[in-house]
Amino acid sequence: MKFLRLIGIALLFCSCQTAVKEDLQPQNQSTVNESQADIDSVKNLIEQSFQEIWSDLDTARIRAYHTDDFILLEQGLVWNNDSIARYLIGEHKRMEEGQYQRLNRFEYIRSVQRQNTIWVAYKNYGTWIKGSDTLRTAQWLESAIAIRENDQWKLQQLHSTRMEK
């Protein structure tokens, strides 16, 4: 009986070793290239969405970049597409009156793809300028979750924490 148990344990150990070895095998090059292309698409999506939504204040572009159930978690607040649109309308008025604009810069930390979902961590640097004068700067540590909808990447969630300069 002990002999059968030892054989069972040995077989279990061998099958686990095989599974681990298969998981550690490198992906083929085309899969790696496709994954990197998807991650690059999502990084571009993040940058374009910040330009068009948060810098250009274009409420019509929200649905082009965000899923219908999109949420932004920022400094204890929960935003959705509608609350973002309301904020942008007010900010547009302030921006026109003050004649300033917002510039964005991103520093990517890590990106992970799992099938039709990509998670990206990054630092977001905002600069508000009027002519050649810098009015203010801000920094955030952020993460984004993007999902593929109908062969198009869209942001489903952003999480943002303001950083000290």
Does the CA dihedral 119-46-141-72 come out positive or negative? negative
- pLDDT, mean of residues 10-18: 50
For residue 16, what pLDDT is reported?
Answer: 47
Q: Given a cut of 70, is residue 86 above it in pLDDT?
A: yes
For residue 33, what pLDDT is reported?
Answer: 74
pLDDT digits (tens, 9 = 90+) for 118-144: 999 999 999 999 999 999 999 999 999
For residue 6, what pLDDT is reported?
Answer: 46
- pLDDT, mean of residues 29-45: 86
For residue 10, what pLDDT is reported?
Answer: 54
Which amino acid does the sequence have at 6?
A: L
Q: Given a cut of 80, is residue 69 above it in pLDDT?
A: yes
In eight-state DSSP terms, residue 99 is T
For residue 119, what pLDDT is reported?
Answer: 98
Q: Given a cut of 80, is residue 23 above it in pLDDT?
A: no
For residue 122, what pLDDT is reported?
Answer: 98
Pairing of strands 117-130, 66-74: unpaired
For residue 28, what pLDDT is reported?
Answer: 59
The string of DSSP codes covering 119-146 is EEEEEEEEEEEETTEEEEEEEEEEEEEE
In eight-state DSSP terms, residue 100 is -
On whether the 33-163 domain is CATH 3.30.1330.30, my answer is: no
pLDDT over 70 percentage in the chain: 81
For residue 20, what pLDDT is reported?
Answer: 44
- Specify the pTM: 0.79
Kindly list the domain boundaries of the chain, sorted by start residue.
33-163
